Amino acid sequence: MSLLVIGSVAFDAIETPFGKTEKIIGGAATYISLSSSYFTKNTNLVAVVGEDFPQNKIDLLKSRGINTDGLQIKKGEKSFFWSGRYHNDMNSRDTLITELNVLENFDPILPESYQECEFLMLGNLTPATQKTVIDRLKERPRLVVMDTMNFWMEIAMDDLRETLKVVDVLTINDEEARQLSEEYSLVRAARKIMAMGPSFLIIKKGEHGALLFHQNEVFFAPALPLEEVFDPTGAGDTFAGGFIGYLASTEDVSFENMKRAIIYGSVMASFCVEKFGTERLESLTNEEIQARAKEFMKLSQVELEMI
Ligand code: AMP
């Protein structure tokens, strides 16, 4: 089994009510692959950065066992840069700056050794680039998971609709689900979005957990109430990395197993928000992950007597 991850690898500048960062590393694929690396040692990254991207951060990814053969470094160009400011509730944010830079003309070249991927995670990128990756794989992976955001709904809706037709799972947040479906009720929104292509839909609700939809079924995973939330940036990507990493490691893409996978996704996201940027994800231990998974189990387990 192997996992292919594509998405942005970037610089971010973040403002939260607790502080502000200079340019730090971020990007959807950075968070996804760091997170999935705790579940599978077979994560293959496809992304692009500029010459300004620090080598020690690429080494960090490698030290987590992530294959960076598919990471292009463009001489004389600048990495993707994103800046955001969180509101006081930390559940919503404004994008202040999006500089596509190297992403503007990104041609996702897949090393031959990546061809056998069974699990594909299409992290946040232009929907057209996401689709190119599927087209360039000689065999369709067993499971294709896609993440996207409002930015692409606003500037690339037609491409987004085309890509949606060929994926199995879509992960988006509640606001984006409403925007994409033009429905307020998330149940109706889910039905409409699944009719666009993906047979599974995950709606992320930040500190209020995540919903997994499939046909007429729905499953809810809570988020852990945390004492310290410093920076929610990357929580959605970290969630996706834990989700697909767990599925890849168990090689089971059933709805039942996806329920477990969204709990592991939530476990990983709960670590991500505890520090700025990727810091908390850089050196977790299996013991920490298992201990938190147990906290999740305790959080909503209850025996009910029928009245
Ligand atoms: P999340 O908080 O999970 O939505 O992801 C935040 C990450 O997404 C940041 O590290 C950004 O670098 C990255 N990001 C923000 N906007 C975009 C975009 N338009 N395309 C690709 N990546 C983006």
Per residue in 212-255, pLDDT tens?
999 999 999 999 999 888 899 999 999 999 999 999 999 999 99
Ligand 1 pocket by Cβ (under 6 Å): 8, 10, 12, 26-28, 82, 98, 124-125, 151, 233-237
pLDDT digits (tens, 9 = 90+) for 28-67: 999 999 999 999 999 999 999 999 999 999 999 999 999 9
Give, using CA atoms, the residue closest to atom 20 of ligand 1.
125
CA of 124, closest atom in ligand 1: 21
Ligand 1 midpoint to CA 88 (Å): 20
Q: Pick 3-9+27-76+108-300's CATH classification: 3.40.1190.20, 3.40.220.10, 3.40.50.10380, 3.30.470.20.
A: 3.40.1190.20
Give, using CA atoms, the residue closest to atom 9 of ligand 1.
27
Residue with tokens 């999740």: 296
CA of 126, closest atom in ligand 1: 20
Q: What is the pLDDT at residue 132?
A: 97
Ligand 1 midpoint to CA 9 (Å): 9
* Segments of the chain scoring below 50 in pLDDT: none
Domain ranges of the chain: 3-9+27-76+108-300
Cα distance between residue 160 and residue 181, in whole Å? 13
Q: Which residues contact 200 (CB under 8 A, 6 or more apart)?
A: 168, 169, 170, 194, 212, 213, 214, 255, 258
Ligand 1 midpoint to CA 111 (Å): 24
Give, using CA atoms, the residue closest to atom 13 of ligand 1.
27
Cα distance between residue 212 and residue 135, in whole Å? 27
Q: What is the pLDDT at residue 24?
A: 96
CA of 233, closest atom in ligand 1: 2
Could you give the C-alpha distances from 271 to 48, 128, 240, 277, in angstroms and in order?
Answer: 26, 31, 13, 11
pTM: 0.96
